[in-house]
Structure 1
Amino acid sequence: MPAAPPERPAHDAPRAPRHAGNPEDVRKGQVTSPLPREVFRQRFLARFTDPAYRQEDEALDRLERIAWDAYAQSRKAPHTHKAGAGYADPEYDLSDEWRAASEAVRVAQQRQADPATRSRVLLVCAAARNDYTCPGEMSKSWRLAGRARERLEAQGIEVDLLDLSHLTSDAQLQIHPCKGCVSTAMPLCHWPCSCYPNYALGQVNDWMNEIYPRWAACHGVLIVTPVYWYQVSSPLKLMMDRLVCADGGNPDPTSTRGKDVARAKAIELSGWDYPKHLAGRAYGLVVHGDVAGIEGVRRALSDWLDWMGLIDAGAQARLDRYIGYYEPYATSHVALDRDTSVQGEVDNVARALACAVEQLRHGQLRTADHGLVPPRLK
């Protein structure tokens, strides 16, 4: 069955005004040349350092030459088909993988909007630590997420547990960094992201094409994260940055003919509506640390989710707490064992979010500023 055309914002959605500017004004000069041949070769072969590969050196040389050709020719998406009806440019060679990801998001959004489906919460365990790799021990975030899951399921909520620590322990799994297309022009940032996979650069095994539909399918999200150096964890920040396409992203890559900068600038300057693709979902937060930074991280996460149009589930659903304040790292799980208060507070985050989700689905929960049109869109 062919994919449906990309969804566009409602006709009465507020649109940004036209702006003066020259879309051909594209600033160049930062990275202007490809890798030297020998550097590419060294990097390609680095993963085959194990002596067990030496018996296949000739085969590796052949593969490296193929990879170099793909890099030199910029074969980002080798599998494409014509976009077809419903797209701005039906003749554009659209990536098969992007089309599949877009269809998965569409199906997930359709399921999310169906009142007959069970309420669903995406529960994100954001700690990088797990016991399958170097730390050798589960994270406190994992334990807290487990408590939250039990409380949500007790309220009849279907829970989708997303454990971001798999980035540190699963072979080849990646969330590649956001390339910042939105800073060039919002329509250059596609929903879902079209930057990956990039086979020419070897940027593959990107987890986000699975994660985007999981966000689209949920009615609420609960993020449990530790504080790392006054910030969220690296896995969580990678996911956050790659979700920028959900806040104003362009659902039709053919309108910009892929990554045509001048076209994207022209579209934005002519008036872009910055559609919020995940707006209207509820959220809760659990931020924990040991010496500093919890309030700043909790505020940053709340501001991010508010900006994307999500709705907080109340004061008790936005939790920041220290666990084992200034105590040894080696006994941090013991500190959590004895801190029954923080355990109970996490339970309440989950309960509050479950209530908010049900109220949202029955049309009983809206923000006080619902329906107001912001004078500035971005």
Structure 2
Amino acid sequence: MANTDPRTGMPSVALSRDEFVRRFKARFYDPLFEPLAAEIDRIADAAWTGYSENHKSPRTKPAGAGYADPAYELSDEWRAASEAVASAQARQQDKASPSRILIVNGSSRSDQTCPGEISKTWRLAKLAQEIVDSERGFESELLDLSRLASEYGRVIYPCKSCVSTAMPLCHWPCSCYPNHAIGQTGDWMAEIYPKWVAAHGVMVLCPVNWYQVPSSLKLMIDRLVCADGGNPDPTSTQGKSAKLAKEIELDGWSYPRHLAGRVYSVVAHGDASGVENLRRILSDWLSDIGLIPAGHMAEIDRYIGYYEPYATSHAALDADIALQDEVRNCARALIEGVRLRRSGELKSPDRGLREVRPK
């Protein structure tokens, strides 16, 4: 077996007590907190203890039956997230359940914060949702990623790229967060994973932001890496043992595709450049994790108010009746794809083939 010792050597990120306390207290900059200075000092002391002693997962229980190491102290929060994913999977596989479409608003723009105006993506997502909700036997859920920029406490933390150390180190669902020791709590992905799992079809809509997806959508995309090959048993790697994960991968890893078989559609839009590349990026990503395209009309890229002023972009969308109808057709194609998929008529042509180089 190849050498599996992890490569290390990056500079330490450990903080001194003074620096930690300074950063912690910066959260209470508002003069409103000044009468509570003594209480904040006490809380800062407790937070420092959690940080210095690395209380990443302060509430744990033995994993129990069904895990590689039943005695391993498994995070209560990870267990709850895993159970939510399992429940969503059971609901998705229940033949008597309604067909569920997850509609993703990938724009960060909202009239609830600085832009002062809704996004065109939101409007297009609502058009699609109306089509889904009018279809008998179907239900929709709108995942609005603009809440990352406008709603208190909404956060998706960046992917730490455990996959690049070894695939089994990337747990399904992600176990990197929460990390109470360094204040990385409230990770929205714990709620988002079950939304994807429960869906029979997924529709992603987003604008071009500097030739790429908006940062809010990219955060979610990166954190969904664990859905494609992720390890559902953190005890097998004793949490985050890089060396053990490398050994497991080299011994032969199955790369379970946890979202494979769902159907997808994509709408990418912009005002000057980049829409075609963005649509291809999204389609390639969704296909790569095992989702099935719903057809030609389900993958569209369009310009709205091409090189016209930003100030009149909503008026441009008002006038573009053809685009509105294309988005409705995108939703209709996805509905039909899900219907065919659930009846067994739509099958992935490469099903059953062994991946020669899984990754």
Query: Normalising to structure 2: TM-score of the pair?
Result: 0.98
Aligned length: 358
Cα deviation for residue 62 of structure 1 reads 1.1
Residues 272-299 of structure 1 show CA distances to partners (whole Å, capped at 9, x for unaligned) of: 0111000000000010100011111111
Q: How does 1:41-56 map to 2 (within 5 A)?
A: 41-56=21-36
Aligned residues of 2:261 and 2:348 also touching (Cα < 8 A): no
TM superposition outliers: structure 1 runs of 4+ over 3 Å: none
Structure 1 distance, partners of 2:272, 2:13, is 45
Residues 224-280 of structure 1 show CA distances to partners (whole Å, capped at 9, x for unaligned) of: 101100000111000000000000000000000100111111100100011100000
Aligned residues of 1:123 and 1:160 also touching (Cα < 8 A): yes
Structure 1 distance, partners of 2:297, 2:336, is 12
RMSD over aligned Cα atoms: 0.9
Do structure 1's residue 277 and structure 2's residue 265 form an aligned pair?
no
Structure 1 distance, partners of 2:266, 2:211, is 16
Structure 1 distance, partners of 2:337, 2:344, is 10
Which of 161, 171, 177 matches 1:196?
177
1:333 corresponds to? 314
Q: How does 1:95-134 map to 2 (within 5 A)?
A: 95-134=75-114
Structure 2 distance, partners of 1:246, 1:123, is 18
Structure 2 distance, partners of 1:360, 1:235, is 30
Letter in 2 for 1:358: R
Aligned residues of 2:261 and 2:290 also touching (Cα < 8 A): yes
Cα deviation for residue 52 of structure 1 reads 1.1
Aligned residues of 1:155 and 1:351 also touching (Cα < 8 A): no
Structure 1 distance, partners of 2:187, 2:67, is 25
Aligned residues of 2:102 and 2:199 also touching (Cα < 8 A): yes
Q: How does 1:56-71 map to 2 (within 5 A)?
A: 56-71=36-51
User: Alignment identity in percent?
Assistant: 59
- Counterpart of 1:320 in 2: which secondary structure? strand
Q: How does 1:215-226 map to 2 (within 5 A)?
A: 215-226=196-207
Structure 1 distance, partners of 2:46, 2:207, is 43
Which of 291, 295, 312 matches 2:276?
295
Letter in 1 for 2:330: V
Gap runs ≥5 in structure 1: 1-19
- Counterpart of 1:124 in 2: which secondary structure? strand
- Counterpart of 1:319 in 2: which secondary structure? strand
1:207 corresponds to? 188
1:236 corresponds to? 217
Structure 2 distance, partners of 1:72, 1:358, is 53
1:79 corresponds to? 59
Q: Between 357-366 and 42-51, report the one with greater CA deviation.
A: 42-51
Residues 24-78 of structure 1 show CA distances to partners (whole Å, capped at 9, x for unaligned) of: x211111334122222122111110011111111111111111111111110000
Which of 343, 365, 375 matches 2:346?
365
Structure 2 distance, partners of 1:129, 1:87, is 42
Structure 1 distance, partners of 2:349, 2:169, is 33
- Counterpart of 2:61 in 1: which secondary structure? strand
Residues 289-345 of structure 1 show CA distances to partners (whole Å, capped at 9, x for unaligned) of: 000111111111111111100000001100100000001111110000000011011
1:257 corresponds to? 238
- Counterpart of 1:162 in 2: which secondary structure? strand
Letter in 1 for 2:321: T
1:172 corresponds to? 153
Letter in 2 for 1:142: W
